[in-house]
Chains A and B, each alone.
Chain A
Amino acid sequence: MKILVVDDSRAMRMIVQRTLRQAGFDATIVEAENGQEALDKTKSEKPDLILSDWNMPVMSGIEFLNALRGGGNNTKFGFVTSESTPAMRAQAVGSGAAFLISKPFNADTFKDTLNGVV
């Protein structure tokens, strides 16, 4: 399994990878630091799952998701974000996201959420 982790913070990308390992997901990790880079890497790397921050410079997570779905790409997609209002969850699901994980999170959060998706 290949997972694209998208976050403008390198520290958070590392923590997401570490948490994936702790949750038992043995995956090849590809990284991107904003939505535009992620859009390019989705095409070149063809990940099985995308875990994306919402609030990023250059291109936000929701803009990335909309661009992805607008281009006909249906790769499984979830947000990992510090913002998680009901309105954002509704917008995420409406745009084609499978889930939204709130920061801070732990390995159990990843297990509970991802086991139904991958």
Chain B
Amino acid sequence: MQLNETALHEAVNTTLDALVGSAGEAVDPTTPNWAMRALIEISGDFDAVVSATCDEHFARSLAAAMFGLELDETSDDDVRDAFGEFTNIAGGMVKSLLPGTCRMSVPSVGDPTGVGEPSAVALLCEAAVEHEGGHVGVRVLSPT
């Protein structure tokens, strides 16, 4: 399989299903108010950046499911950790669809204003889903 929107959507939902037990519904990637971003750099035969963003509800729900907590019991550290791991797994699936041999960085996670996408990149593909009222989007970018 090659990297395209269908494959990316499948990667997002496979990751979600594994971590929280159910997949989401496709939505317009431009809709939500993103509260958190995680970036992973892929380098080697193919250079790319995986940029995952989510709203507050998705981030809290993900952390609650992964840690086995109630929504209001999740700390900010729990939320960053959980979203970083979500991005790490989805990023690994993206990497497996890229040609050649590549390496993947550990995720950088934070507020979208603090963890910004690099400039001078082209959008290769993107996918976003709604999951139990929360939203998450993943973009794969390549340096121009």
Which A residues have a C-beta under 8 Å from some C-beta of B?
Answer: 8-12, 14-15, 18, 55-57, 81-85, 87, 102-106
Contact = CB atoms under 8 A, between A and B. Distances in A.
Given A84-B96, A103-B92, 20 more contacts: A9-B85, A11-B78, A11-B81, A12-B85, A14-B68, A15-B19, A18-B68, A55-B104, A55-B105, A57-B106, A82-B91, A83-B95, A83-B96, A83-B104, A85-B95, A87-B101, A104-B17, A104-B18, A104-B89, A106-B18
Contacts, number: 59
B67 interface: yes
List the 9 closest pairs (A to B, CB-CB), nearest first.
A104-B18, A82-B92, A11-B66, A9-B85, A11-B82, A82-B89, A103-B89, A83-B92, A11-B81
Nearest to A14: B67
B84 interface: yes
Contacts of B88: 9, 55, 82, 103
A57 B105 CA distance: 9
A9 B84 contact: yes
B14 A104 contact: yes
